[in-house]
Structure 1
């Protein structure tokens, strides 16, 4: 398969593309398409997180679960939606925390591309979903791929800030070398759990403090 992915990622992940599980993913998606299933995000956006944030530029990692399954929402960056799409509830809560943490005004856009372009790698553990069916592609092999991605970042980089929100994201901590990276954990920003520890976590200011200690440029969290 000719994977449309930024070259530095393509280089570090080339072994994965040849593994049976990845070929099974490709075949599964082809079959879904042949059966006229609608899949999100669009094909050219499946690897958007990789294309917006080259491997060499990754400073922060945010881990989500799977893409939004509503029309025109998913854009290949976890929690993010395209300009003009209403801001989803979890992202609304992220903006609320940004407001109390650093005083940022609530943005009108849910498009977080500017975060990605500053080195915030916004990875969903599953990269595709069938329209209207949350987690419908969770078992097709994407977990093998994104686990390998997380491990590559852990093994080959240092000083990366990992933001693990909720139990699912926190389960990925086992693949991260905490002796050379920074792991910040909190509840998920979902309305169901944000009041259990996401609000008040101050992860956005803490991230910038950790980057500053390494002499790295802070993230401008305002996507507007």
Structure 2
């Protein structure tokens, strides 16, 4: 699979991806998501279109759930993965409503990059590809996007570990970015600071203050 053209300038695709691709080709277990969806988050959000970055960890390990965007699922997945269910609970409290299903591709079409820090997982074995080298891509994406002010949403310590790669925008100040941190929406940690953090209204308030349109977090049928 070739890298998404708007991101092909990142050194990862020359220096790191060939080795990962060979490792995945030798993997005897089914790998999720399917290869053609592995870079879906980057395909839907070229660099110039990204307004918000939400970092996840690795794809859902249940076949049929992951489609290449962090936290997002196919529309027919029921029940929702527990982390996504907690995201929707917080959105309900924050905004008064939430999407009708787990397909968040309509967020991506508005410039919300839903990037996992690992882009593959063997079916049924969560985090098994966490040390495969995908994190190099995450670091390079964040550093590249830091050139202009953006919102970065970092849930949980693994995501927050990438905050060091958020640089001062060119010609600007460190405070020009919005960086939101809280506990992860996982059932193991959501009550330790994720619930009540109101990330969705915080992002929209920041965008509005900059004169940019807010994100439609709720209605996939609304014009974007």
Give TM-score scaled by structure 2 length. Answer: 0.91
Give the paired residue count.
Answer: 213
- Using the alignment, how far apart are the partners of 1:143 and 1:52 within structure 2? 20
1:189 is aligned, of 171, 185, 189, to 185
- Using the alignment, how far apart are the partners of 2:116 and 2:33 within structure 1? 12
Cα pair distance change 1:223/1:41, threshold 3 Å: farther
Q: Which 5+ residue runs of structure 1 have no aligned equivalent? A: none
Q: C-alpha deviations, 1:55-103, integer Å up to 9, x for none?
A: 1100000001111000101111000001101211111111111111111
- Using the alignment, how far apart are the partners of 1:71 and 1:214 within structure 2? 40
- Using the alignment, how far apart are the partners of 1:107 and 1:160 within structure 2? 24
Q: C-alpha deviations, 1:98-144, integer Å up to 9, x for none?
A: 1111111x433100000010000000000000111111111111111
Q: Is the 8 A contact 1:186 1:197 kept in 2?
A: yes
Partner of 2:25: 30
Residue 55 in structure 1 maps to residue 47 in structure 2: yes
- Using the alignment, how far apart are the partners of 1:198 and 1:170 within structure 2? 13
Q: Which structure is higher in helix share?
A: 1
Partner of 1:39: 31
Residue 74 in structure 1 maps to residue 69 in structure 2: no
Residue 16 in structure 1 maps to residue 12 in structure 2: yes
Partner of 1:218: 214
Residue 91 in structure 1 maps to residue 81 in structure 2: no
Partner of 1:200: 196
Q: Is the 8 A contact 1:126 1:137 kept in 2?
A: yes
Q: C-alpha deviations, 1:174-211, integer Å up to 9, x for none?
A: 11126031100111111111111111101100100111
What is the Cα-based RMSD across aligned positions, in Å? 1.3
- Return structure 1 stretches of 4+ with deviation > 4 angstroms: none
Partner of 1:141: 133
- Using the alignment, how far apart are the partners of 1:16 and 1:66 within structure 2? 18
Give TM-score scaled by structure 1 length. Answer: 0.91
- Using the alignment, how far apart are the partners of 1:84 and 1:198 within structure 2? 26
Structure 1 residue 22: deviation in Å?
A: 2.1
- Using the alignment, how far apart are the partners of 2:149 and 2:65 within structure 1? 32
